[in-house]
Amino acid sequence: MVPSDTNCVAEMFGRIAPTYDLLNHLLSFGQDYFWRRKVAACLDEHKNIMLADLATGTGDILIALLRRRNDIESVVGLDISGKMLAVCKKKLNRLGLGNQAVLIRGDASHTPFEDNSFNVVTMAFGVRNMPDVPAALKEIRRILTPAGKMLILEFSLPASRIVRVMYLLYLKILLPVIAGGVSGDYQPYRYLGRTIESFCSPFEFTRCMIDAGFENVAVQPLSLGVAYIYTAAKP
């Protein structure tokens, strides 16, 4: 079964929350550390950061940013899964960062935030799970200040045909077996493969960002195009 609504997605992530981080590092061969550090580095020029990290999960984007910078004004992490947020809270406390981030349970497509609340909004590996991607992008635009920056990290399929075939074999066969064995739950990792395959191409996603009213859209492939960083600004 592929979860078809937000409640099913929240429930599914809740089930894998205890092994989520371990499997992330294992299945990406440690590349996920590098990808999140790259996202954090995209903000090096920014001052007075007021950040919302949507679909924050276990909080690795928040942590990458808070470890890189000690001048961040405010940090909010929002996620639909209470269990993912509980893991996030524990990690922040363990790292002594617990009082630097506010965690909120909610839907990234309908956030409780006022218009123009944040000058940076990030979302890593979250947008693929949104039932209505254009609505999620419009929500990000709404909560960003004018000239605020959006950074999205998301999986994709590599452009090179040979690499793509090898990657798809990994995604469809090896990955669910490894992840299912470790977590005891195969379905979320079959869901992962299906959503990566069905998510828009970088070209199409760029179009979505422009259609949602963003400007200065830029795209950066990572690790042979297995993941991309998308950046854009609210006019």
Ligand X SMILES: C[S@@+](CC[C@H](N)C(=O)[O-])C[C@H]1O[C@@H](n2cnc3c(N)ncnc32)[C@H](O)[C@@H]1O
Q: Is 6 in the site for ligand X (CB under 6 A)?
A: yes
76, 101, 126, 196: which one binds ligand X (CB under 6 A)? 126
Could you tell me which residues are beta bridge partners of residue 124?
A: 153
Contact call for residue 111 and ligand X (CB under 6 A) = no
| Among 43, 64, 79, 228, interactor with ligand X by CB under 6 A | 79
Helix (H, G, I), strand (E, B) or coil at 210: helix
How far apart are the C-alpha atoms of 56 and 62, rounded to whole Å? 8
Nearer Cβ to ligand X (43/108): 108
Q: Which one of 63, 66, 80, 175 is in contact with ligand X (CB under 6 A)?
A: 80
Q: How far apart are CA 7 and CA 77, in angstroms?
A: 19
Q: Which of 185, 198, 189 is nearest to 170 (CA)?
A: 189
Q: Is 16 in the site for ligand X (CB under 6 A)?
A: no
Cα Rg of the chain (Å, integer): 17
Pairing of strands 118-124, 50-54: parallel
**Which residue, 132 or 215, has its beta carbon nearer to ligand X?**
132
Question: Is 188 a residue that touches ligand X (CB under 6 A)?
Answer: no
Q: Does 108 bind ligand X (CB under 6 A)?
A: yes
Residues 59 and 88: their CA atoms lie apart, in Å, by 5
Residues 39-58 touching ligand X, rule: CB under 6 A, are 55-58
Where does this chain bind ligand X (CB under 6 A)? 6, 9-10, 13, 55-58, 60-61, 79-81, 84, 107-109, 124-126, 129-130
